[in-house]
């Protein structure tokens, strides 16, 4: 498998470019992000925009980014309806403005998007993660904001996960130890840590995660990248 490019936009934001050139944005957050790895104005066209939950550091730029890039928003029902009420056309929101919900899978352009649960908080709807299977079968799990939960083992059993994007910064999400344990459950080939270093209250590096991963999931290749950096699989 080759040709999958993953760029960290900072915090929990990612830009994934599929083998066929489709661009997927996940939780892009720029306004007020002290560790933004790109400028919102520098974003080009995107095909899909995934939103994990409605906290400002995940959905705050969803409307403006969707308007700028033309991306179709994939989000839980309540967030989809909220974006429609804020003026985003129904044609630019999954299922005519109705979004989707936990457990569902939708497919477009040879790419499938499965919405899965996350353990966190959210004002609109429930917090979620996504399992994305690209055209060549390369599968990415974006956990969203979450604590560890045993059902991650089901994801590892059901889906052949190549890459896990996991929060490791503690306080609002898993810490490094829990995220490393999550690797045991998910059984990915690669992992990229996220949601750390953005605010002073969070862990400032992914070192705790990396060290625990060496003990708990030594077969997983950890790629620690900087905001704005892109890596290829």
| Tens digit of each residue's pLDDT (9 = 90 or more) over 209-220 | 999 999 999 999
Instruction: Say what the pLDDT of residue 1 is.
Output: 46
Average pLDDT over residues 185-203: 98
CATH superfamily of the 5-218 domain? Ribonuclease Z/Hydroxyacylglutathione hydrolase-like (3.60.15.10)
Does the pLDDT at position 163 exceed 60?
Answer: yes
Q: What is the dihedral of CA 162, 151, 143, 50, to 10 degrees?
A: 100
Cβ neighbours of residue 200 closer than 8 Å, sequence gap 6 or more = none
Cβ neighbours of residue 89 closer than 8 Å, sequence gap 6 or more = none
Cα–Cα distance for residue pair 99/73, rounded to 1 Å: 8
For 176, half-sphere exposure in the C-beta direction (CA atoms, 13 angstrom radius) is: 18
Does the pLDDT at position 101 exceed 70?
Answer: yes
Average pLDDT over residues 127-135: 98
Nearest to 189 by CA among 147, 227, 137, 149: 137
Report CA Rg, the chain: 16
Average pLDDT over residues 185-206: 98
pLDDT in tens, 6-59: 999 999 999 999 999 999 999 999 999 999 999 998 899 999 999 999 999 999
With residues binned 3-state (H G I as helix, E B as strand, rest as coil), the percentages for the chain, rounded to 5, are 25, 25, 50
Average pLDDT over all residues of the chain: 97
Average pLDDT over residues 102-125: 97
Q: Count CB neighbours of 48 within 10 A.
A: 24
pLDDT in tens, 48-95: 999 999 999 999 999 999 999 999 999 999 999 999 999 999 999 999
Which one has a higher pLDDT value, 39 or 152? Answer: 152
**What are the structural domain ranges in the chain?**
5-218
- State residue 24 phi and psi, 5-degree precision: -115, 125
Does the pLDDT at position 2 exceed 90?
Answer: no
Nearest to 23 by CA among 2, 60, 49: 49
Bridge partners of 108? Answer: 111
């Amino acid at each position: 498998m080759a040709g999958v490019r993953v760029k960290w936009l900072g915090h929990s934001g990612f830009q994934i470019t599929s083998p066929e050139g489709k661009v997927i944005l996940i939780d892009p957050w720029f306004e007020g992000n002290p560790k933004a790895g790109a400028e919102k104005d520098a974003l080009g066209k995107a095909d899909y925009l995934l939103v994990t939950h409605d906290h400002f550091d995940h959905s705050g730029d969803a409307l403006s980014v969707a308007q700028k890039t033309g991306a179709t928003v994939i989000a839980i029902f309540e967030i989809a309806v909220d974006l429609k009420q804020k003026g985003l056309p129904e044609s630019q929101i999954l299922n005519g403005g109705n979004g989707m919900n936990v457990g569902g899978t939708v497919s477009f352009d040879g790419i499938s998007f499965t919405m899965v649960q996350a353990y966190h908080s959210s004002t609109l709807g429930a917090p979620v993660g996504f399992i994305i299977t690209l055209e060549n079968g390369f599968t990415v799990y974006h956990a969203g904001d979450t604590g560890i939960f045993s059902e991650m083992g089901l994801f590892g059993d059901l889906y052949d996960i190549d890459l896990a994007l996991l929060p490791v910064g503690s306080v609002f999400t898993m810490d490094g130890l829990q995220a490393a344990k999550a690797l045991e459950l998910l059984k990915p080939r690669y992992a990229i840590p996220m949601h750390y270093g953005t605010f002073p209250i969070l862990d400032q590096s992914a070192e705790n995660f990396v060290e625990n991963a060496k003990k708990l999931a030594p077969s997983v290749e950890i790629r620690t990248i900087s905001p704005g950096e892109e890596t290829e699989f």
